[in-house]
Amino acid sequence: MAEESDAGFTLIEMLVALGVLSLSLGLIGTVVSTNMRAVRKIEERVAVIQEASAALVTAIPGRDRLLPGTLRGASASGEWTVLVAPIGTGWDVAAGQAGWIPRMVELRVRSASGAVVDVRTVRLARTAG
C-alpha cells in the first residue's frame, strides 16, 4: 500500500495565512488613506498660499493710495481681507513736503475649503506734499 504524502498545507495553516494577509492589506489601506488626506491638505494649503500671493499683488493699493481702513474682495477660490493701519506715532511730515509713513498691512485669505493664510507686512505710504 502506498504511503500518504504529508506534503501541502492544512486547512488551519491556510486560514492563518489568509488572516495575516487580510491584516496586512488592512494596514496598508490605512496608511494609503492617511497619506491621501495629508496630500489633499497640502494641496489646499498650496492653493491658498498662491491665492495670497496673487492678492498681495492685486488687492493692496499703491503707495499713493494706501490709507488706513479695511478692503474686502472675492477670488475664484475664496475671499480676502486687507486691513491697513498706522504704525505708532510721530510720523508727521512738515506741511508742503512729501514724505513716507509706515503702514501695517494685514492680508487674510480664506479658501472655500476653510484653509486660511494670514500675511502681515509693512508698506511705506507716500504722503501728499
Residue 3 inside a domain? The answer is no
**Any domain includes 6:** no
Is pTM beyond 0.75? Reply is no
Residue 4 lies in a domain: no
Write the pLDDT tens digit of every residue in 51-104: 888 888 888 888 888 888 999 988 877 899 999 998 887 777 777 677 888 899
- Domain encompassing residue 35: 11-126
SS (H, E, C) the chain: CCCCCCCCCCHHHHHHHHHHHHHHHHHHHHHHHHHHHHHHHHHHHHHHHHHHHHHHHHCCCCHHHCCCEEEEEEECCEEEEEEEEECCCCCCCCCCCCCEEEEEEEEEEEECCCCEEEEEEEEEEECCC
Question: What is residue 51's predicted lDDT score, i.e. its pLDDT?
Answer: 87
Residue 119 included in any domain: yes
Q: What is the pLDDT of residues 8-60, one digit of tens each?
A: 788 899 999 999 999 999 999 999 999 999 999 999 888 888 888 888 888 88
